[in-house]
């Protein structure tokens, strides 16, 4: 009998949500995603000690600590690329989430560093928070041939704006949406299909398919395997090593949950900035979780900087 993980791969592309190269080698995902929190964890692993030291040694310029952080992100991503057939997602500093020009500049720098390491843009996704400014940066980068992964996506308005901007991939969150609803008085969902995070990703996936958008939907931020399996059939699912292991241990049947029936609709008029902000801001969950996510990633980025500053002496 095939494991649930093997069965899931027949419905969705499996992506590893980790920077741990041992876990990536074990589960053999198509792609891998990283973020400042995962890079901070990876930097503490003995396997990455050489990359940590080398990144600090090579750092220079007006901001050697920031340079060292960029180099470490690329060094870790370069190791991951050796183990996967697809792309690695590397995130732009979350503190730039409301600055389009700075986000574009940082993305270009990461791509240059990868190129210096012999890795082309066809193996990369630049990960950007799905603010209005971040979406505009991604739109510009996509025109330059730099594919983007729009993250911290909680509202339907964010999803619509990303598709209209032609971004390569979006990562709508599941677990953090459920976290918010539970913290605000919702009873635990009776089934995974009743989970508000699962429902959010399902709505986005169906909308993209119905309106013919090419943007890839990758469900993210899972709290349990029930959420994962309730989205079997989603384009991609990025899953932590702990949940990948749980799926590997079970051989219970996995049915396809999302199915494109082929119905196509004409897309509505594009969202402008005012419409985007109004629709996003009326969703209290999305507004709060986006702001919280940016703060957390920024805090982890600062911790990573402190780690590298100590290396620089």
Distance separating alpha carbons of residues 29 and 84, to the nearest angstrom: 6
- Residue at token pair 């969150």: 173
The domains of the chain, with CATH numbers, are: 4-312 (3.20.20.70)
Residues contacting residue 79 through CB under 8 Å, at least 6 positions apart = 21, 48, 51
Q: Is 5 left (phi over 0), alpha (psi -120 to 50) or beta?
A: alpha
According to the model, what pLDDT value does residue 1 have? 85
**pLDDT at position 267:** 83
Rounded Cα distance between 136 and 123, Å, is 22
Residue whose tokens read 């996510």: 293
> One of 41, 82, 127, 289 is an active-site residue; which one?
127
pLDDT at 261: 85
Residue whose structure tokens are 């913290």: 183
Query: H helices of 64-99, where?
Result: 64-81
Q: Which residues make Cβ contacts (< 8 Å) with residue 43, sequence separation at least 6? A: 52, 72, 76, 304, 307
pLDDT (0 to 100) of residue 138: 98
Contact 176, 293 (CB under 8 A): yes
Determine the length of the chain.
Answer: 313
How far separated are the first and last CA of the chain, in Å rounded?
54
Q: What is the pLDDT of residue 312?
A: 87
Structure tokens at 118: 């012999």
Q: Which of 132, 119, 161, 126 shows the shortest CA–CA distance to 144? A: 126
Q: Give the separation between CA 32 and CA 20, rounded to whole angstroms.
A: 10
Contact 131, 98 (CB under 8 A): yes
The reported pLDDT for the residue numbered 262 is 85
Pairing of strands 88-91, 124-129: parallel
* 41 included as an active-site residue: no
Q: Could you tell me which of 48, 49, 40, 81 has the C-alpha nearest to residue 301?
A: 40
Q: Is the pTM of this model over 0.85?
A: yes
Secondary structure E strands in 159-239: 169-172, 216-219, 236-239
Q: List CB contacts of 168: < 8 A, sequence separation 6 or more.
A: 125, 142, 147, 148, 149, 215, 216
Integer-rounded Cα radius of gyration of the chain: 19
Enumerate residue ranges in the chain where pLDDT < 50: none
Residue 169 has a pLDDT of: 98
Helix (H, G, I), strand (E, B) or coil at 59: coil
Residue with tokens 């991951």: 80
């Amino acid at each position: 009998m095939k494991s649930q993980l093997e069965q899931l791969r027949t419905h969705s592309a499996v992506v590893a949500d980790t920077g741990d190269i041992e876990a990536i080698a074990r589960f053999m995902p198509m792609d891998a995603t990283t973020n400042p929190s995962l890079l901070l964890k990876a930097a503490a692993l003995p396997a990455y000690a050489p990359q940590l030291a080398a990144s600090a040694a090579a750092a220079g310029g007006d901001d050697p600590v920031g340079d060292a952080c960029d180099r470490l992100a690329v060094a870790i991503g370069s190791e991951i690329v050796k183990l996967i057939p697809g792309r690695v997602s590397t995130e732009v500093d979350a503190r730039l989430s409301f600055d389009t020009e700075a986000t574009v500049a940082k993305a270009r720098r990461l791509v240059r560093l990868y190129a210096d390491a012999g890795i082309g843009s066809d193996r990369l996704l630049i990960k950007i928070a799905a603010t209005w400014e971040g979406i505009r940066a991604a739109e510009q980068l996509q025109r330059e041939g730099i594919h983007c992964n729009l993250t911290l996506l909680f509202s339907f308005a964010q999803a619509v704006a990303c598709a209209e901007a032609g971004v390569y991939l979006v990562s709508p969150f599941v677990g953090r949406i459920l976290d918010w609803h539970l913290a605000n008085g919702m009873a635990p969902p009776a089934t995974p299909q009743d989970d508000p995070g699962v429902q959010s990703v399902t709505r986005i996936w169906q909308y993209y398919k119905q309106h013919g958008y090419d943007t890839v939907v990758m469900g993210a931020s899972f709290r349990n395997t029930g959420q994962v399996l309730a989205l079997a059939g989603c384009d991609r699912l990025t899953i932590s090593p702990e949940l990948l292991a749980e799926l590997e241990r079970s051989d219970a049947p996995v049915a396809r949950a999302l199915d494109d029936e082929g119905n196509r609709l004409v897309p509505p008029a594009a969202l402008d900035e005012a419409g985007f902000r109004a629709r996003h801001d009326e969703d209290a969950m999305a507004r709060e979780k986006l702001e919280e996510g940016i703060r957390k990633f920024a805090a982890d980025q600062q911790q990573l900087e402190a780690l590298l500053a100590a290396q620089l002496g």
